[in-house]
A and B are shown apart, each in its own frame.
Chain A
C-alpha cells in the first residue's frame, strides 16, 4: 500500500524454475513493487502467494531474502569501496571463499577494474559489479530491476549472454523493463503491467 492505494492488485502469477520473465510497463506500472514483493523487501498486505515454497503471508522475510538476489538499476553496492572491497565484503558476509573473487571478476570482465572505486565506474561497469555480487551468491531467484537502463548495445549483449547462462543453470530470473526485450539470444516470457496489474502476456 502507498498513500492508501494498493501498489499491486489482482496479480496472478506463476513462475517456473529455469525461466526468464520480463515485466514490461511504464513508470508506476507496479514492476518494481512486484519485484520487491518477490524479494521479501515488502510484505503482502492481502491475498496469498508463495516464493520458493515460502508462504508470503507468514514467512520470515529475512529467510526469503537470503535465497533471492537483487540488482537495482542504480547500483547495488557501496560507492566508496573499490570493486574488490565490495566483493570481499559480500563474500565474507556470505561465508564464501575469497579465491572465488577472481573467477567472478573475470566472468563479468572487471578484473582490470578490481581496485577502482565503485562510484568511478561507468553505468555498464556498475551493472557488471552488481552481477558479480549475484554470481558470488548464485541465488535461486534473480530479481533485476531495470537492468538494461542506460546500457549500450555491448552491455545489453553481455547481459543477455550472462542471463541466458544463469537460466540454463536452473535459476529463475525476473527482469523489469520499460520495453520488451529485443534479444536474439533470449526467449523470455513477457508480462505487460499497468496500474499495479498484469494486463497481458506474450
Chain B
C-alpha cells in the first residue's frame, strides 16, 4: 500500500512539474538571496551555510507538504478515495516516503548551490549527506502528520507553518549542528542520533495516529 501511494504521489508530482519548475527554483532563489544577504566577504567563507541550507529546506518542505495534501483534498477525490478503504498506516508511509524523496532531490540541488554560492567545502558537504538524509526523512514524516492535521482547515497554508515549525525546530537544530560538524569538525554522531530518534518517533506516531487524523 505504501509503495502504491508513494508511486501515485510521485507520478502526480512528475506530471504537474510543480516541484521542478516552481519549488526547486524557489529554493535556489532563496539560497542565492541568503548568500547576497551575507555580503561578498561573508558568503565566501560563511559558517552560516548549514543554517541557511536548513532554513531554505524548511520553506521548501512547507510548500511540498501543502501540495502533498492538497492533491488528496480536491473536491470529490477525498470522498472517493475514502471509499477505497486504504490502510491509513500505508497511506502515511507512502506519503511520507514520496515527500522524503522530493525533499532529498531538492536538497541535492540546494547542496550544489551551497557549494557554488556559499563556498561550503565539498568534502564536508559530502560527509554531511547521511545526516541530511535522515533529518529530511524526519521532516517528511513529521510534515506528513501535520499536513494531515491541517489539510481540512480554512487557512491550511498558514496554519501548517504555525503548527509544524515548533516540531521542526529540534530537527533543524540537529541537522544544522551535524552539517556544521561535518564541515568544521565536532560531535557529528550525537546530533545525528537526535535526527534518527526523531525519525523513529514520528514514524511510530504516524503509523498509529494517521487514521485518527484523517477521520477528524
Contact = CB atoms under 8 A, between A and B. Distances in A.
B16 interface: yes
A72 B86 contact: no
B4 A70 contact: no
A70 B85 contact: no
- Identify the 6 closest CB pairs spanning chains A and B, nearest first: A72-B76, A76-B80, A66-B85, A74-B75, A74-B76, A80-B12
B83 A81 contact: no
B1 interface: yes
Interface residue tally on B, bucketed by range: 20 to 34
Contacts of B83: 39, 65-66, 68-70, 137, 139
A62 B75 CA distance: 19
Nearest to B215: A61
B8 A89 contact: yes
A167 interface: no
Contact of B71 (A62, A65, A76, A80): A80
A78 B81 CA distance: 10
Classify the secondary structure of B's interface with A. Answer: helix
B82 interface: yes
B12 A94 contact: no
A135 B180 CA distance: 56
B12 A133 contact: no
Contact of A130 (B16, B75, B80): B80
Interface residues of A, number: 32
A36 to B, nearest CB: 7
Nearest to B18: A80
Given A65-B85, A66-B85, A41 B77 contact: no
A93 B75 contact: no
Given A81-B11, A89-B8, A65 B82 contact: yes
Nearest to A32: B79
Contacts of A78: 8, 12, 71, 74, 77
Interface in B1-56: 1, 4, 8, 11-12, 15-16
B162 interface: no
Interface in A26-44: 36, 39, 41
B77 A94 contact: no
A79 interface: yes
B16 A80 contact: yes
Contacts of B155: none
A13 to B, nearest CB: 20
